[in-house]
Every structure is written in C-alpha cells, then in structure tokens.
Amino acid sequence: MKNIAITLLLAGMASIGNLSAQQEFGLHLQPFSINGFTGIQSFAAGQDGPYILLVGGRTDGLHRRQPFASFDPAGNNTAIQVINPAARERWSASVEALPTPLREQLQSSNMQFYQEGGFLYLAGGYGYSSSKGDHITYNHLTAIAVAPLIEAIREGRDISPYFRQLTDDYFAVTGGYLEKIGDIYYLVGGQRFTGRYNPHNGPSFVQEYTNQIRKFRISDDGVTLSVTDKEAILDEVNLHRRDYNVLPQVFPDGTPGLTAFSGVFQYTQDLPFLNSVDIRPGGHTVNNDFQQYLNHYHCGTAALYDAGGNRMHSIFFGGISQYFLDEDGVLAQDDDVPFVPTIGRVTRSADGAMAEQKIGELPSLLGAGSEFILHPDVLQSAPGIIALNELPGDTTLIGYLVGGIVSTQPNIFFINDGTQSWAQTTLFEVYFVPESISSFPAVRFAENLSALSAYPNPASGNVNLSFTLQEQSLLTVTVQDTNGRIALERRYPALAAGPQEITLDFPGLVAGVYIINLSDGRQQQSARVLVE
C-alpha cells in the first residue's frame, strides 16, 4: 500500500464564503492495514483501552436492488473482530456457536449501539433470520461485557458468557441511533423493515418508520438486564429519518444534547432532509434556519467542542449525498444521491448559528457505513465529544476511521451487480492538526422560502398562507397536531417566484393548536395556528 497522508484543507472557492478564524484546525488521514482484517460496513463498535471490538454489519458493498439478491445472507458478518490499531493486531471469533437469537442479531446490519462503561448495548438491526425464514428487524436489546469478551477472543476461549439479551418490540429498529443524555437513553429515528428490499415498493417488504425519539433507562448490574421508564416522542414530519447521523453536542448555553443531521427520506418525497433536529432532555426542536448540503447518509463522524470559543464542530467522513462541490467549487446537485468523498464540517457558533464547510476529501468514494473510533487517550468534554482546547499544540492522533463501503463510481445503484463496491479493508489514522489559517470555505445557505405567515389566527375552516419564493417551486404543506401526527397533507403545482398566497382548507380538524410546515423539498418553514 502507498504510504500517503491526506491533508484536509482547501483554498477559497468561487461559490463559497468564509468563516472567521477561531481555534482553527485541519485533519490528516494516514492509511494503514492490519493483516487479516475483514472489511465490514454498517456495524457496531466498542472499545477497551487500545482494543476495538467490531460486531455485526456486512462484508460486502452496497446492497443490490433486486429483491432476490438484496442483503444476501452470504454477506452477513459472522465474525466478531478485535483490532489493536496501534500494534496492527487482529483477532476474531465466530458467532455460529451462540444461541439462535444472539447469533442472528449479531449478524445484522445497522444496529443501534452505545457503550456505557464496560457494557456495549446493541438494539435492533436488520438481516436474514434463518429461524424466521425471512429478512427481519430484530426486536432485541443485547448487552456485551466488552473487556471480558475482548480477552476471550484474544485468548481463543468460549465467548458465550459475555452476552445478555432481552426481547421487546420497542427495540425493533434499524438505521436509527442509540445515544444517551444524563441517565436517559435515546433511540432516535430509524425504521422497522420486514422482508426483502425492493426499490419499486413491490410486495416483498413492509416498512414502518418509527418517526420517534424513544426514551428509556437501562438497569444493568452485570447479571440482570432490564429497561424502565419507556416513553416515545412522535414527530411524523421531522423524525421520519433513517440511515443518517446523530452526534452528541454541547449547546451554546452549555447543556449537553444531540443533533440529528440530514437522513432519508422526507415524508413528502424520496430525497434527503437538509434541516436538522436538536434533542435535549426537555424535548426536540427543528432547526429550519440551517441546511446541510453535504454528507446525508450514515458515515463516520467526530464531535469536537471548542470551549474557548463556545463552538461545536461536527465532522462527517464521506458517504452519500445529494449535493457536493464540483472541481470549480460550485455546489452541484444529483437527485440520484451518489457516493461522495467529501469531508464536511458543521460548526455551531456561540450565537447558535450553524454553518457548513467542506474541509477536504477522502482518497476515493469512501465512508458510507463507516465508524470513527476515538483514540483512548483523547480527553472528552462530554461522552463522545473531543475537548478541542485540551488537545496538544501539535499534531495529535485523535482516532481511527474504520470500515464502510468503497464504491468505484458515484452512482452504481441501478447497475449494481455486487462488483462495483465492497467493504473497506483499509483503515485510517485521523490526526488533529492546529493550522494557522484564516478560514475554511463555507457552503452558503440557499434561501428560497421566506416570510411565511398564517392568518387569520385563530382560524376556523381555512387559513391563508402568505410567503415569498425566490424561484419557481413545487410546494408541499403538512399540518401536524401537537402530538406530532400528520393531520393533513397538500401538494401544490409549480408556483412562480415572488410573493405568494395560498388558502389551506381545514376540513374536519378538531379544535386545537397545529403546526403548518411549508416545504420546497430543500427548505422548510413552519407556523403555528390555533384552530377553533
């Protein structure tokens, strides 16, 4: 392998603006290999000191579109791997001897996972179940004793004592995120998918988005595993997300929380979300004042908090995206949503404003279904968040980019016969590099919708929506009740640029407060209306 370093810095571009310099940094990626490492994608990971535990996922590339070939069981990852990136060592153990419920879930892809202390918790996941004779989303929560399992795998001993599992449909989710704020776990977004994938929405599957943030506590003394205080927050418009990225955050007021970035698919069309959702213990808020153009699907991510400047940085390593910057630095759009090499960064400033930047590229079309694993010596501001101000003043290894899909072309979905992509076997050391530069280039927010107002308010029977368009647009309106359910949906033909007014009928809606969401497919604006 060529021993190269990839510097993730860019010069100014014609279509992008600049951000002011505060504790600026670059990243360097150094590829390396580990003998025997089996490439995987869409997996779960835990760690103990220098050792990284890799569970589940797939050993092939992008799933094929034909139902008979999609998510072929032959691509299931049947090995639990342990790697030591520093020593370039690798060990593995098969899951085949484990009890059927464990063996099957541990071969699934897109499990939600979170490590708390010495336990790695796995929720759900999708794959072929030989016991059910079908592809299913598993309804299990599994606890793994990380350090003892790693030791058993390294020593070639029986691994079965280090797993505990409970069954509950509450955890039948794939493609979401499992995170934690305080002592509460958050299972955010995702879907329950049963059957074989079919791009034409044929009869081979049943798909149910959760549209929820599921909150609960885990009670675990190392012997008995149980779940208490379960609840769910529903938002059928803004939580209709899967296969995306959720990152831990420190918000400008200093409180910890989460932000759900992008994801697929919007309720009204098969395109990624561009807005984001902030999640705090008190609930969730939708940020319609920000659009994320880069890195729309699940990829390796890193969170860094600049306490001195009160700035939160969220880093995205490649993956799949509807938008990318072309060779001239112009924002390009491809609604087939291709693989991209883009390294993106979203920065939340002290005033709460968010801005997106391209800070470089991976060496090829990498990153989808990968994971960034923190180096064990890196100090954290909060769980999963690198304390940027505590990093040394020189180049520092902060973690590793592991696994994911390698694609030979941006758009392979409609020609995919299984040879155009594969699971990544090259690993990358990720280095933080303080840089004396004035700025990184930032992608501009493209505002098309503005000045939305709803009247009369209170309303009865119908409401008028007044707004302005910068360009001709097809619009959709969804109306939600305060429980997050969609009560009404309307689609409108192309409206011309300029001031607009449409009348929305409210047939049969019970009295109460409703949220009206107006969208052009990229941008969303919302208004609250009292219906009498």
CA-based angle 39:81:101, to the nearest 5?
105
The single residue listed with the structure tokens 């979401």 is 176
DSSP per-residue letters across 208-237: EE--EEEEEEEEE-SS-EEEEEEEEEE-TT
Read off the pLDDT of residues 200-229 as tens digits, 9 standing for 90 and up. Answer: 777 889 999 999 999 999 999 999 999 999
CA-based angle 44:66:319, to the nearest 5?
40
User: What is the structure's pLDDT at 403?
Assistant: 98
Residues 6+ apart with CB under 8 A from 188: 176, 177, 178, 179, 213, 214, 239, 246, 258, 260, 279
Q: How far is CA 111 from CA 78, 131, 490, in A?
A: 14, 19, 35
Q: Which H or E run includes 101?
A: helix 100-105
Distance of CA 99 to the CA centre of its chain: 30
User: What is the structure's pLDDT at 437?
Assistant: 53
Q: What spatial distance separates the first Cα and last Cα of the chain, rounded to whole Å?
A: 69
Candidates 101, 99, 70; CA nearest to 193 is: 70
The strand pair at 134-137 and 140-145 is best described as unpaired
DSSP 288: T
User: What is the structure's pLDDT at 383?
Assistant: 96
The strand pair at 385-387 and 300-306 is best described as parallel
Residues 6+ apart with CB under 8 A from 274: 262, 291, 292, 293, 522, 523
* Token representation of residue 48: 């103990």
Residue numbers of the chain with a pLDDT score lower than 50: 1-21
The single residue listed with the structure tokens 């979905």 is 413
Q: Is 73 helix (H, G, I), strand (E, B) or coil?
A: helix
Q: Which domains does the chain have, with CATH numbers?
A: 1-33+243-445 (no CATH), 449-531 (2.60.40.3080)
User: What is the structure's pLDDT at 22?
Assistant: 58
Rounded to two decimals, what is the model's pTM? 0.93
User: What is the structure's pLDDT at 445?
Assistant: 79
Per DSSP, helices labelled H in 108-248 are 146-155
User: What is the structure's pLDDT at 11?
Assistant: 31
CA-based angle 330:421:262, to the nearest 5?
50
